[in-house]
Chain A
């Protein structure tokens, strides 16, 4: 009976429910990583360009966001922003919170990537008649992004893991759905936790292998 109990939790209905949660986890992560890649690039370039006052200002805001717990930002977006008249459904509140937080992380990666590019690349491009913006887009950014692929993938891994925090505002992602399943029966706790752990692990370990492959290819 004990061995049977382990699989009791995984009725077709529960499995489908859990996998639906995985879909939401992946959805939030992918949308957030794309949004934060764009926003993070802009913020990183602003910091790198050292525009008077503006860059310092952006860097300060970025540092503040980077040094806050993501959970707090999630609660803030979902519970506090409505006080300012901004109402977001749970899914988009999570996406906004995670993108804000991850942009600040990616901005640091972009800035670091830009700083690692040899100064001669800028000077050479400028000497060949490219404008500042052209230099950035055609010469410097492509080289910097290539170096940034592995750290960006590790940020995606963080995103996948951190999506679980959104159960704090009752987003129906995988960890939350797991909790709903083992709330039916306390003997389900261990098998459900193990299966969720395995799914997260396989997903993230796969991503880390991709990052490592890029790392070895670029080195």
Chain B
């Protein structure tokens, strides 16, 4: 308990950075992910290919490598700190998974919805935005939630580039106090405060959707 009291502000600061990075990356990866999901269902073959290559590349390489790329290479051209580099990498990495989820959501919306909207005079983009995407997001919601949980967990990657997040601060406290056991338990509790309620809520949503279907 002393450990928590003495280092409370450090933990809290780390918690704040973890939350901040996760929320920024969530918004960015939702936008990017939706964009690349739509690319993959457009009629033009080469556009589909571009979307597909993006998704395959970012899904199949470690997040740590993407982070190092931004921290060591891109940061030479555009100065940025570890937090920024990590958050950008996190956004790109997660967007590939979100693109897959959203694409599956769009494909599971009955094609009659698009045809009906087009027949009623909406343009492709209007139909996408007002008719198809809202339904697709609803279907994809549980898996999107799981992606967000993964995002929060993956934000611990910031610790590798001095990103001041919860994991980074935890390592600092562990190194200063030598109480590795207590420190990592406290860090775990802080992570669970975010991820566990989300996870239970997503399980609840999944069950609800299953019964509705």
Contacts and interface: CB of A to CB of B under 8 A. Distances in A.
Given A69-B191, A84-B181, A208-B60, A63 B199 contact: yes
Contacts of A197: 61, 65, 69
B37 interface: no
Interface in B165-199: 167, 170-171, 174, 180-181, 183-185, 187-188, 191-192, 195-196, 199
Interface string A195-216: 0110011001100100000000
A200 B56 CA distance: 12
A67 B170 CA distance: 17
Interface in A152-181: 157, 161-165, 167-168, 175, 179
A163 B203 CA distance: 28
A217 B169 CA distance: 48
A193 B68 contact: yes
- Classify chain A: how many residues form its interface, as a range: 35 or more
A161 B160 CA distance: 15
B64 A175 contact: yes
A64 B195 CA distance: 9
B90 interface: no
Interface stretch (B38-46, B107-115, B119-127, B150-158): B150-158
B153 A67 contact: yes
B121 to A, nearest CB: 37
The secondary structure that dominates the B interface is helix
Interface of A: 63-64, 66-72, 75-76, 79-80, 82-84, 157, 161-165, 167-168, 175, 179, 189-190, 193, 196-197, 200-201, 204-205, 208
Name which of A71, A164, A197 has the most chain B CB atoms within 10 A of its CB.
Answer: A71
Contacts of A64: 192, 196
B136 interface: no
Nearest to B65: A197
Contacts, number: 108
A80 B191 contact: no
Contacts of A72: 156, 167, 170, 184, 187-188, 191
Nearest to A194: B69
Given A63-B196, A72-B156, A79-B174, A189 B60 contact: no
Interface in B7-64: 56-57, 59-64
Interface of B: 56-57, 59-65, 68-69, 72-73, 149, 153-157, 159-160, 167, 170-171, 174, 180-181, 183-185, 187-188, 191-192, 195-196, 199-200
A80 B199 contact: no
A168 B62 contact: no
Given A189-B72, A193-B73, A168 B199 contact: no
A7 to B, nearest CB: 18
B26 to A, nearest CB: 16
A175 B62 CA distance: 9
Given A175-B64, A193-B73, A70 B153 contact: yes
A161 B97 CA distance: 14
B181 A200 contact: no
Name which of B64, B160, B183 has the most chain A CB atoms within 10 A of its CB.
Answer: B64
Contacts of A66: 199
